[in-house]
Structure formats: structure tokens, C-alpha cells
Amino acid sequence: MRPKLLTKFKLQLPLSPLNMRWSAFRNAGLGIAAMLYITVDYLRHISPQLHSRLQPALWSLLVIAAVARVPSYRHWSAEFRAAIPFVASMIFMLATLLYEAVSVRSVTAVLGLDWHRENHPLPDTGQWLFLALNEKLPSAIVDILRARIIGLHHYLMLFMMLAFSVLFDSVRAPGFGLGARYMFTMAIGRLLRTITFASTILPSPRPWCAASRFKVPNHPHRWAQKYYVPYTSDHNAISQVIKQDIAYVDIGKPIGDHRPDWGSMSFLIDFLRPTASEGSWFSLLTKAGGGCNDLLYSGHMLVAVLTAMAWTEAYGGFSSALVWLLVIHSAQREIRERHHYSVDCIVAIYVGILIWKMTGFIWSQQDRRPTKFEKIQSRLIQASKDSDIDKMRELLKETELSSEEIKNQPAMRHARLFSGVTIGFALIIVVLALILTSDG
């Protein structure tokens, strides 16, 4: 009786040295796959022909490995429970992205193209530092710092790999729980970012950006004509508006803007400021991109930091240190290439860390509910040591009854359907992320 019981329910006894080495290799697999993905993708800059062969082969191998693990995955019930928070987080994320897109266009358009042409970039000591280091460091190191090793879509793919690794028990299930926390945290970060950069309009580190990317009027919006323009350069006017606390200058009739018929969405005209050659409000938002003001703080760095935080908490190990090195490399490139000021990257790093720390209630590596078998495991091991067959039979019978109740539920059929839909949906998201973020 005793051998039969012990083979039916495997006790988690200490691993042999051989098993420990295999377990360590299996746990290192995610880190190896992630670094291999970054390396293969960088080949596009070195050998495009080799990259075109290796990248499809690598992704095919990863997809096959993930699909092969689906039948043996044991946590579909946990995934099902986490599906609703995941969908809610996705909807919240899409709403914040819509608000961000409107604000990005608005802060670029409100002052007009003339303001963007005439205003100089802000002094940035980080930019000075990297220019000085270029003169001091060996050229090989400077080339590494300049190299486009990793971009926005890489960080998104690294998180996808992290979430999928629940299939291999490398990360605690449910993967939907981890995804819900990632998207909810990112949505909060994007919302705070949008409120921040829309509060005070800062000039871009690239003064030519607005004229080359946006078709907005040259003159300021009528709000800026009344409340900003008269009080920009005249010291006496600034002093008077501070004392009187009213916009006392009479500007006469303000210069108007083109006003298309957008129906119920016409309220967006004052924010988007379309020209006669542009189309609908939706087409304007899809072309918003990253904007042409300084958007404090960096959205790219927020994604990078959240990916690194998720990787560190869920997986850890040596690969997490490599991910943080990539985050630092991305930050210096954002400053070096003048996509952002230094302050944007610094603020994004500590905001991302703090927000991630505050959302552990959604998913946490330490927050794990023990299974029925894990609850009795210590008592079962003790009964085995004491050769108490009756006690072992009693404990295992409790577990058998619990398992039979779960298996007899009609929901098991729906769980299998849910697993298929989940894998298909996740693969579609991966493909869309690759396509839509391939340009950063």
C-alpha cells in the first residue's frame, strides 16, 4: 500500500545533485532565451541577411515550445480567475492611451509652429556629460553606448516572454495576473505622465520636430493669444499680471482656426487644431506619435523600468541584472540622441519603481495560495517517516476527494476551451506588438 500511495502523490523530498542541476538549467532557460532574442534581433544592424533567417527560426522555436507545454499546464483555473482583472486593466490602459494621444497633439498645437521654431532647447547637463565622455572614453566604448541594442518593442517582447514562462513553471501563475499588474501599472504611469507634461509645456530637445511632423497652424491658439503671448517677454507686463492677477491686455479679435464638422467630437477641435488639409479627428490621433514637446517624463523609459521590475520580482537571477543594464543603456541613449532631457529619464525610473511597488495587490511573486496537497505535505512526510500507513491513507484520501470534485465539475470542459482561446489571443497580441512597435 505504501509504495502505491507514494507513487500516486509525489512528495517534494530534497532533490538529488543531478536533479538540482537540471532544475537550475530549466530555471535559467528564460534568461538564456531572452538574451538570445536580444542578440538575434541586433543582427539586423550587423547582418540583415542572417537576421532574416535566425529571427523567424527563433520565434518559431519559442512558439512551439510554449504550445507544447499547454496540455500539461495545471493552473488554468487561476488564469480564469485573473482574466477579468486582466481585461479591466487592458480597458483602463486603452483609455489612458487615448487621453495621452489627445494631450500629445494638444501641447504641440496650442502654441503654434512659430513658437517651436523660435524657442531653444533647455540646458541639459546630462547632454553635456555624454559629449564630454565621447572625448575621453575609448572609441569602442562610445560605439557601444551609441549602438541601438534595444528599443521599446524589445521590452514589450521581454515581458511577453516573462508572462508565457508560467507554462514552464519559471514564473508563478497566473500569467494573466502578472499581465494585469503590468498593464495596470503602466496605465497609472501613463496617466500621471500625461497630467505632468500637459501641465507645463516645455520646448523639445529637437526644435525641428514639430515643423517636420505636425501640420498645425503657425500662430498660437486663441487661449494662448490671450493668456500667454502678451506676458512672455515684457518684464513690466509679467510684473503687472502678477500684481493684478488678471489678463489685463486687450488683444482685440484673436486669429481664428479652421473648424471642420466633426459632429459630436467637435469639442476636440480646440485641442487638436486641425488644418484644412487634414482628415478626421481619429486620423489625427493615430498620427500623434511621441509628440514634439518635451514630454515629462519619458514613456519609453517607463516601459523599460516596468519590464525590469517585473523581471526582477517574477524571475530574478543574473538575467534581471542584464535587463537593468539594458535599461541604463536605453536611458543614456534617450539623452544622447535628444529624444528626452535627463530629467525625463531620471523621473521615469523612480516613478516606475514606486508605482510597481504599490501595485503588488494585483499579483506578487510571494503571494501564493497553497494547494490542498501542499497544506498536508509536511504531515504526510512525517507520517511516512513514522511508517503510519493509516494516517497517510487518511491524508491522501482528503486530497483524492478534493481532486475528484474538481474533475467532476463541468467547468473543466470550459477550462480547456479557455486555454485554447487564451493561447490564441496571446499569440495575436505578440504579433501585433511586433508589428505596431517595430519602429519604436
For the chain, what are the domain ranges?
77-255+282-369, 377-407
Q: Give the pLDDT band of residue 123 (cuts 50, 70, 90).
A: very high
Q: What pTM was computed for the model?
A: 0.81
DSSP for residue 321: H
When pLDDT is averaged across residues 367-387 and rounded to a whole number, the result is 62
DSSP for residue 122: P
Helix axis angle, 317-336 relative to 17-46, nearest 10°? 20
If you average pLDDT over every residue of the chain, what do you get?
82
In terms of average pLDDT, the best of 117-121, 135-139, 233-237, 286-290 is 135-139
Q: Give the pLDDT band of residue 417 (cuts 50, 70, 90).
A: low
Q: Quick one: cell of 178? A: 502578472
What pLDDT is stored for residue 345 in this prediction?
A: 95
For the cut 50, the answer to whether the pLDDT of residue 407 exceeds it is no
Element (H, E) at 51: helix 48-69
What pLDDT is stored for residue 172 in this prediction?
A: 86
The residues, any chain, with a CB within 8 Å of residue 161's CB and separated by 6 or more, are 30, 33, 34, 37, 62
**Among residues 262, 352, 267, 370, which one has the least CA distance to residue 313?**
352
What pLDDT is stored for residue 131 in this prediction?
A: 95
What pLDDT is stored for residue 355 in this prediction?
A: 95
Is residue 27 packed enough to be buried (19+ CB in 10 Å), middle (13-18) or exposed (0-12)? Answer: middle
Positive or negative CA dihedral for 369, 371, 376, 380? negative
When pLDDT is averaged across residues 39-59 and rounded to a whole number, the result is 89
What pLDDT is stored for residue 406 in this prediction?
A: 45
Would you say how long the chain is, in residues? 440
What pLDDT is stored for residue 378 in this prediction?
A: 67
For the cut 80, the answer to whether the pLDDT of residue 39 exceeds it is yes
What pLDDT is stored for residue 83 in this prediction?
A: 85
When pLDDT is averaged across residues 55-67 and rounded to a whole number, the result is 86
DSSP for residue 246: S
- Distance CA(226)–CA(170), nearest Å, equals 59
* Peptide bond between residue 155 and the one before it cis (omega within 30 degrees of 0): no
Q: Quick one: cell of 262? A: 466633426
Q: Give the pLDDT band of residue 7 (cuts 50, 70, 90).
A: very low
- Cβ-contact 230, 251 below 8 angstroms: yes
- Distance CA(298)–CA(342), nearest Å, equals 10
The residues, any chain, with a CB within 8 Å of residue 2's CB and separated by 6 or more, are 384, 387, 389, 392
- Cβ-contact 228, 220 below 8 angstroms: yes
